[in-house]
Homo-oligomer: A and B are copies of this chain.
Amino acid sequence: MPDLTLTTFDWVPEMPRGFVRDLRVRWALEEATLPYRVASVPFGDRSAAHFAHQPFGQVPWLTEGDISIFESGAILLHLGERSAALMPADPSGRSEAIKWVFAALNSVEMASLPWSMFKFIGDAGGTPGAKFLDEFLQIRLKYLEPVLAGREWLVGSFSVADILMSDVLRPVDRFDGLAAHPACRDYVARATARPAFVKAHADQMVHFAAADAARAGA
């Protein structure tokens, strides 16, 4: 059995709860039914040891024995090698999954994350920049829509590519940005109805709520 430890923050503010990227790793571990521990580092005061594992001072990272991996995409590819529940074992299916992992993170999230942040911080829009971000996201969704209308999951069966693609679409859905793209919206609903997502999400919420309780008691 691999000796897996997922590290996340000890606490985060209310807003990002349910969206912190340790969720992607929890979700993959639950899909693969791999046993793992969860460790915490301070959200407030980030140590040199933290930066040694995650050079940008972010979370998550995953350790397996002496190996330490940061970046949710890299972690999910690593776990994909451990379980056919996460990535097809044949070279052609594996290659398909890797393409869609990058498509989720570098074609879709590069548009969806800034767009969602503008919504979250309440940018009034209307500027050339905000207009660019709207169009950037719209063109990605326009072409993703027929892909997702034609299949249940991106690569034959459910894979890490679906964990990442659905998770990068979740913040868009949260701000009602998928209304004109029903196949994208249904795909997010289908992915997040999976028991492994439900458990991963609940576990993250409990993790941060426990931190509130500890703070209140301190």
Of A31-39, A118-126, A176-184, A206-214, the stretch lying at the interface with chain B is A118-126
Within 8 Å by CB of A55, from B51, B103, B129, lies B103
Query: Which A47-72 residues have a C-beta within 8 angstroms of B?
Result: 51, 55-58, 67, 69-72
Contact stretch, chosen from A2-10, A107-115, A196-204: A107-115
The complex places the Cα of A160 from the Cα of B98 at a distance, in Å, of 16
CB-defined contacts of A43 to chain B, threshold 8 Å: none
Is A105 located at the chain interface by the 8 A CB criterion? yes
Main secondary structure of the interface of A (DSSP, over half): helix
With A71-B107, A74-B99, A95-B69 known as contacts, the answer to whether A128 contacts B121 (CB < 8 A) is yes
Contact A51 B123, beta carbon cutoff 8 Å: no
Task: List A residues at the B interface (Cβ < 8 Å).
Answer: 51, 55-58, 67, 69-74, 77-78, 92, 95, 98-99, 101-103, 105-107, 109-110, 113-114, 117-118, 121-125, 127-130, 132-133, 136, 139-140, 143-144, 147
13 contacts across the A-B interface (CB closer than 8 A): A56-B144, A57-B143, A73-B102, A73-B105, A74-B102, A105-B106, A114-B133, A114-B136, A117-B136, A123-B129, A124-B127, A127-B127, A127-B129
A55 adjacent to B130 (CB under 8 Å): no
Asked if residues B105 and A102 are in contact (CB atoms below 8 Å), the reply is yes
Stoichiometry, copies per complex: 2
Q: How far is the CB of A11 from chain B (nearest CB, A)?
A: 19
Residues of B within 8 A of A103 (CB): 55-56, 70-71
Closest 6 CB pairs of A and B: A123-B129, A71-B102, A73-B102, A118-B129, A105-B106, A74-B99
**The one of B95, B105, B113, B114 that contacts A78, using a Cβ cutoff of 8 Å:** B95
A-B contact sample (6 more), CB < 8 A, given A71-B107, A105-B105, A114-B114: A55-B143, A69-B95, A69-B99, A124-B127, A127-B127, A129-B133
